[in-house]
Amino acid sequence: MSAPDLTTPVAPRSAGRRRGWLAALLSLLIPGLGQVYAGHFQRGVVAYTALIGIDAIAFRVWTRYPSARGMWLLLVVLVGMLVIVVIDAARLARRAPVPFIPTRYNRWYVYGAAILVSVVVGPPFSVETLRTQGLEAFREASASMSPTWLPGDYLMSATMKGPPSRGEIVIMRQTNVLLIYRIEGLPGDTVAMSSGRLVVNGATPYEPYATTGAEDQTDDAFAWQRPFLAPGRNVATYSPTLHDWGPLVVPAGDYFVLGDNRDTAMDSRYRGFIPASDILKRPLFIYLSWDADHRAMRWNRIGLTPR
């Protein structure tokens, strides 16, 4: 057996072939990092800035004009650009010369630093950015707004711009809990209910969304209504029930809200008037809906904007 030739230089292990799957994985973690791994530093920088820049522009447009269609378009743009960058990184790695001689930026600590910086800085569509743009996710937990909004509906909401209008659905804060109800009485309105039918300023509004059917009942929580009775109503004999109450005069700066499910909603009939400062957001559309009873996704509700 002949002795090994010690005069022939041996390429270091790190100087071997670039792996396409690893380049793809790196660019999946940080767009452009796979290009850097494949020896194309400038191309990696261009890929990163292009992807982040285009996504940031699309995100800014969507936050200005939020909609379910815009959300899906944003996701298509994001995923499409990312797929292009990942495929490009894998191709560059497979076409890299063999043996591959690493440069000064082909070091594990460079890749680790890039991942760390990306995690710290965060993408332009992070949760915190959503909130600063006035957009926030909300989950409907109760049946108080059924069938308009169902338990398990995950909603995208936006900050209120201007005062709410009659009939508008809003998200409000009550004792540090977020609730969703419909505005039925504006400041100065006279609201009442007779045999389960809402009466506003003497007229009965059209309410195709309202559901009822339970037996009428009284509750001690209704006692708050007495100081707000309209002139001519005897406070001493006033005995409000779930389906018959009022007329009440809504004070300035306050609103009267009702749930669409009139039998189960713990709305203004129980809670009283809602200050304008407690009305925070309005729901935009459903981005996810989960039926906990049947443990199934409600695919037909995704993208809906119930009104």
Could you give the C-alpha distances from 215 to 139, 243, 280, in angstroms and in order? 29, 9, 33
Ranges 99-103, 184-188, 200-204, 276-280: which has the least confidence: 99-103
What one-letter code names the amino acid at 151? P
Per-residue pLDDT tens digits for 41-68: 889 889 988 887 887 777 777 766 777 7
Q: Classify burial at 200, counting beta carbons within 10 Å of its beta carbon; exposed 0-12, middle 13-18, buried 19 or more.
A: buried
Q: Is the pLDDT of residue 124 over 70?
A: no
Q: What is the pLDDT of residue 158?
A: 85
CA 243 to chain centre: 35
Top-confidence residue, 34 or 214: 34
Mean pLDDT taken over the chain: 85
Per-residue pLDDT tens digits for 236-292: 899 999 999 999 999 999 999 999 999 889 999 999 999 999 999 999 888 899 999
pTM, 2 dp: 0.68
Region 177-188: mean pLDDT is 95
User: Which domains, from first to last, does the chain contain?
Assistant: 13-131 (no CATH), 134-301 (2.10.109.10)
Q: Is the pLDDT of residue 4 over 70?
A: no
Q: Which residues contact 276 (CB under 8 A, 6 or more apart)?
A: 163, 253, 254, 255
Q: What is the pLDDT of residue 221?
A: 94
Region 226-245: mean pLDDT is 93
Confidence band of 133 (pLDDT split at 50, 70, 90): low
Q: Is the pLDDT of residue 6 over 70?
A: no
Instruction: For residues 258 and 43, give the distance between their C-alpha atoms in angstroms, rounded to a whole number.
Output: 57
Minimal CA–CA distance to 262: which of 175, 205, 193, 200?
193
Go through the chain and tell me how many residues it has.
307
Question: What whole-number percentage of the chain has pLDDT above 70?
Answer: 89
Q: Which residues contact 203 (CB under 8 A, 6 or more apart)?
A: none
Q: Is the pLDDT of residue 1 over 50?
A: no
Instruction: For residues 290 and 155, give the distance between their C-alpha atoms in angstroms, rounded to a whole number.
Output: 12
Minimal CA–CA distance to 35: which of 76, 118, 79, 91?
91
Instruction: For residues 89 and 30, give the distance between their C-alpha atoms in angstroms, rounded to a whole number.
Output: 11
For residue 147, say if its preceding peptide bond is cis, omega within 30 degrees of 0.
yes
Q: What is the pLDDT of residue 127?
A: 54
Region 202-220: mean pLDDT is 91
Ranges 162-166, 172-176, 259-263: which has the least confidence: 172-176
The label of the residue with tokens 């820049």 reads 53
Beta bridge partners of 297: 290
Instruction: For residues 164 and 23, give the distance between their C-alpha atoms in angstroms, rounded to a whole number.
Output: 51
Q: What is the pLDDT of residue 132?
A: 57
For residue 208, say if its preceding peptide bond is cis, omega within 30 degrees of 0.
no
Top-confidence residue, 37 or 113: 37
Q: Which residues contact 204 (CB under 8 A, 6 or more apart)?
A: 197, 198
